[in-house]
């Protein structure tokens, strides 16, 4: 028994049918898996390969290449801080340090309560608002100076506690 349930398999067939070549469905199928599990379990790699007529090595390469795919479980809030040139010039290194302090974790780690995962990412195409912090790939916090970090974390915690899961996967 793999990670694809019967329901997911039906959806996967519909997705694959939308493309002239099966392998073009690799990313949407991976997204389907991640929506369900919050990350890409190892077993899903071979299943996606079979569904798309490719090899596990090929699918694994796609997972590793795109930062939006997670190879491990992540927190409710995935915090992606850009530390590329523009953001770095505007103090992203200090913002990163503050995030580590406030969360008590390092880059790539998840808080013990499973609430936050901290990641460093490349340019998010919002250089004019640097430094920027992307939350769960849907919400962008701009001009994130160190003194804003505690407020942002508190806001996210409060939002989760209030049941507003707008940015929660
Ligand atoms: S360098 Fe950070 S958004 Fe472009």
Using a pLDDT cut of 90, give the percent of the chain over it: 83
Give the Å distance between the CA of 6 and the centre of ligand 1. Answer: 41
Which tens digit of pLDDT belongs to each residue from 99-116? 999 999 999 999 999 999
Model pTM score: 0.73
Which mutation among 89, 91, 96, 130 tests ligand 1's pocket best, with the greatest number of atoms within 8 A of CB? 130
Burial class (CB in 10 A: 0-12, 13-18, 19+), 60: middle
Give the Å distance between the CA of 140 and the centre of ligand 1. Answer: 12
Q: In the CATH hierarchy, which top-level class contains the domain 6-65?
A: mainly alpha
Spatial separation of the C-alpha atoms in residues 79 and 117, rounded to whole Å: 6
Domain ranges within the chain, ordered by starting residue: 6-65, 77-161
Residues with CB under 6 A from ligand 1: 82, 84-87, 123-124, 126-127, 130, 132
pLDDT at 67: 78
Q: Contact at 8 Å (CB) between 76 and 160?
A: yes
Spatial separation of the C-alpha atoms in residues 80 and 106, rounded to whole Å: 13
Can you identify the CATH homologous superfamily of domain 77-161? Glutaredoxin (3.40.30.10)
- Per-residue pLDDT band at 46 (split at 50, 70, 90): very high
């Amino acid at each position: 028994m793999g990670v694809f349930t019967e329901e997911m398999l039906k959806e996967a067939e519909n997705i694959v049918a939308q493309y002239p070549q099966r392998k073009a469905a690799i990313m949407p199928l991976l997204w389907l898996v991640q929506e369900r599990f919050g990350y890409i379990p190892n077993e899903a790699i071979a299943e996606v390969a079979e569904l798309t007529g490719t090899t596990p090595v090929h699918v694994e390469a796609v997972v590793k290449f795109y930062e939006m795919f997670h190879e491990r479980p992540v927190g409710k809030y995935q915090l992606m801080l850009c530390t590329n040139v523009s953001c770095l010039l505007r103090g992203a290194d200090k913002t990163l340090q503050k995030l580590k302090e406030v969360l008590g974790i390092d880059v790539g780690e998840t808080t013990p309560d499973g609430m936050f995962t901290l990641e460093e990412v490349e340019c998010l195409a919002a250089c004019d608002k640097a430094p920027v912090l992307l939350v769960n790939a849907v919400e962008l916090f701009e001009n994130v100076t160190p003194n804003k970090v505690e407020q942002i974390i508190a806001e996210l915690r409060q939002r989760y506690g209030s049941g507003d899961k707008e940015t929660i996967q």
